[in-house]
Amino acid sequence: MRTAAEQYDWALEELANGRPAAAVTALKQALALDESFASAHQALGLALRDLERLPEAHRSFARALELDPALNQSRIELAGLLAELGQLEEAAEHYREAIVAGAAGLHMRLGTVLWKMGNAAGARNAFAQGIQGGVDTAEAYYNLGSAQLESGQFGEAEKSAREALSKRAEFAEARLLCAAALVAQGKDEAALRVIPRPLEVGMRLMSSKLFEPARRCLEKVAHDSQARHLLAAVSGENPDHPVEGYVRQLFDASAPTFDREVAGKLGYAIPREMVEALLAVDRGPWDVLDLGCGTGLVGVEIAAHSRRLVGVDLAPNMIQAARTRGVYTELHCADITQALDGSFDVITAADVFIYVGKLDEVVPAIRKSLRPGGLFAFSVEWVGDGQDYRLGVMGRYAHSAAYLTRLASGFEIVECRETTIRLEHRKPVKGLLHIWRIRDGNA
> What value does the mean pLDDT of the chain take?
93
**In whole angstroms, what is the distance from residue 156 CA to residue 154 CA?**
5
DSSP-based three-state secondary structure for 429: strand
Q: What are phi and psi of 311, to 5 degrees?
A: -110, 140
Q: Which of 357, 367, 362, 415 is nearest to 389 (CA)?
A: 357
Q: What are phi and psi of 420, to 5 degrees?
A: -100, 120
Residue-level pLDDT at 69:
92
Residue type for position 211: F
Enumerate the CATH 1.25.40.10 domain ranges in the chain, comma separated.
4-138
Class of domain 257-438 as given by CATH:
alpha beta
Low-confidence ranges of the chain (pLDDT < 50): 442-443
Residue-level pLDDT at 443:
45
Question: How far out from the chain centre does Cα 227 lie?
Answer: 23
405-430: per-residue pLDDT in tens?
999 999 999 999 999 888 877 788 89
**In whole angstroms, what is the distance from residue 199 CA to residue 203 CA?**
6
Enumerate the CATH 3.40.50.150 domain ranges in the chain, comma separated.
257-438
DSSP-based three-state secondary structure for 424: strand
**In whole angstroms, what is the distance from residue 18 CA to residue 295 CA?**
34
Q: Are 157 and 181 in contact (CB under 8 A)?
A: yes
Residue-level pLDDT at 259:
81
Pick the CATH number of 4-138 from 2.60.40.10, 1.10.10.10, 1.25.40.10, 1.10.357.10: 1.25.40.10
**In whole angstroms, what is the distance from residue 91 CA to residue 79 CA?**
4
Beta bridge partners of 348: 290, 377
Question: How far out from the chain centre does Cα 337 lie?
Answer: 28
Residue-level pLDDT at 257:
85
Positive or negative, the CA dihedral 225, 228, 233, 234 is: positive
DSSP-based three-state secondary structure for 240: coil
Residue-level pLDDT at 246:
93
Q: Are 146 and 157 in contact (CB under 8 A)?
A: yes
Residue-level pLDDT at 386:
83
In sequence order, what are the residues at sequence separation of 6 or more whose Cβ sits closer than 8 angstroms to the Cβ of residue 252? Answer: 315, 316, 317, 318
Beta bridge partners of 352: none
Q: Are 247 and 226 in contact (CB under 8 A)?
A: no
**In whole angstroms, what is the distance from residue 380 CA to residue 266 CA?**
16
Please provide the size of the chain in residues.
443
